[in-house]
Amino acid sequence: MNGYDIIVVGSGLAGAVTARYMAEEKKKKVLILERRNHIGGNMYDYKNEAGILVHKYGPHTFHTNKKELADYMRRFTDWEEYKLTCGAVIDGKYTPTPFNFQTIDDFFTKEKAKQIKDAIHKYYKNQQFATVLELLQHENDDIREYAEFLFEKDYSLYTAKQWGVSPKEIDPSVLKRVPIRFNYEIGYFKDEYQMMPKHSYMEFFEHILDYPGISVETSVDAKTRIHLNPETKQIEIDGQVFDKSVVYTGPIDELFECVYGKLPYRSLRFEWKTEEKRSFQKAPVVAYPQEKGYTRITEYTKLPVQNVGEQTTYAVEYSLPYEQGKKEEPYYPVLTEKSQDMYRRYKELAGQYKNLYLCGRLADFKYYNMDQALERALTIAKEIG
C-alpha cells in the first residue's frame, strides 16, 4: 500500500473524479478499492438480454447550470442532449411532474381550475414555481386547497413510502426538491445543460479511469483492510500505518463501526420486466404514490431513447430501509434532525484524522445530484496535498 500516494474507497462518480484529478493534475499514484464487482457505483449500466441498455441501480441523467461541469463530463465520452420528462398517476390518471397547470386541469372542474389559476396569477405574478410547503400555508383558499390536494394524493404518500417516515419528520429540503410550476411547461429539470452519454455510463467510467497512475481493485471491501486507530488517530491499512491520503466515499457510520449508532439510509429493490410492447407508460419515470409497495417505474427504452422494436424493459422500484450486512445498497441518506445530529458527531470524529477525506452522498450524508457530486469531488481533490 505504501507504493501509492492516495487510496480512494469507491469507484462511483465521486471516487472516479477524485482519482482522475489526483493522477492527472497532481501526478499521484492512486489505488481505488471497490467493494462491488464493477466500477461506476450507482451509475453502472449494461445491456440486458433483450439488448436494452438499463441502469442497474435506478435512473441517472446529468443536469447542471454550470458549463464547466458539463464540459468536464464531456471530456471522457460523447454526450447527447436529454431532457427528462416525468409524471405521476393519481386516482388512475397520469399527470406531469413537476405538477403544473395541466395538473389543475386534470383534477378540478373547469370553473374551479380557472379560480385556482387566476389566484396563482394574482399572487405569483413574476414567479414560475413554489414549493408545496409554501402553498400549504398560503392565505388564499383556492391555492391552499390545490396544495392540500397534492399533499394528500402525492407528497405525503410518496414521502412515507420513499423515506419510511412521516412527512413531519423528514427534512423540509426533501419536500422542496420537486416544486409546483405556475405554467404549462413540462420537463423535470430547468437546468441549461441536460444530457446523457451517447453510448453508456460505463464507457465514461472506463475512460476517466484509464490514466497512468490509476489502479483499480474490484470485489474488495476496504473496511476489512482499513482501521482507524482511535488512540493514535492514524489510519492503518493491512495492519500498517498509512500516512498518505485516504478518500472515503462509503457510509460514514460504517467507517467508524457505528460507534454513535447507525445512520439511516434508504435502499431500493427493483423488479425487472420485459414485455412485447413498444411502450409501457407515458413518460420515462412515473411515480405511483397511491399504489401499495412500489414508488415509481422507470421505462428504459425511454431513458435513453432506444428503438428496439416491439419490446420494452421497465423496473418497478420499491423503497426499503438499508440494513448493514445484507444485500441491499445504501442509496439515500434519510435527513431528519436526529440523523443530522448523529452525522455531525461522525464528521467531528473523522476530522481527527488529518489524512482522511470524506466525499460523496453517503460519506457526506447529503442528497447530491450528479453535478453536485462532481463539484464536491473536484473541490476535495484540490484540497488534498
CA 144 – CA 5 distance, rounded (Å): 57
Alpha helices in the chain (DSSP H): 13-25, 67-74, 101-107, 110-123, 132-136, 141-150, 156-163, 172-175, 201-208, 252-255, 337-350, 361-364, 370-383
Q: What pLDDT shows up at residue 122?
A: 97
- CA-only gyration radius of the chain, Å: 22
Q: What pLDDT shows up at residue 166?
A: 83
Q: Are 60 and 42 in contact (CB under 8 A)?
A: yes
Q: Before 197, cis peptide (omega within 30)?
A: no
Q: What pLDDT shows up at residue 172?
A: 79
CA 299 – CA 363 distance, rounded (Å): 30
Cell of 82: 436529454
CB atoms within 10 A of CB 197: 24
Mean pLDDT of the chain: 95
Burial of 255 (0-12, 13-18, 19+ CB in 10 A): buried
Q: What pLDDT shows up at residue 311?
A: 96
- What's the one-letter identity of residue 177? R
CA 39 – CA 60 distance, rounded (Å): 15
Q: What is the CATH number of domain 6-39+209-264+334-383?
A: 3.40.50.720
Q: Dihedral through CA 30, CA 246, CA 216, CA 195, nearest 10? A: -90
Q: What pLDDT shows up at residue 289?
A: 96
Q: What pLDDT shows up at residue 326?
A: 79
Q: What pLDDT shows up at residue 1?
A: 73
Comma-separated ranges of CATH 3.40.50.720 domains in the chain: 6-39+209-264+334-383
Q: Within the chain, how many helices (H) and strands (E) appear?
A: 13, 22
Q: What pLDDT shows up at residue 351?
A: 97
What residues of the chain score a pLDDT lower than 50? none
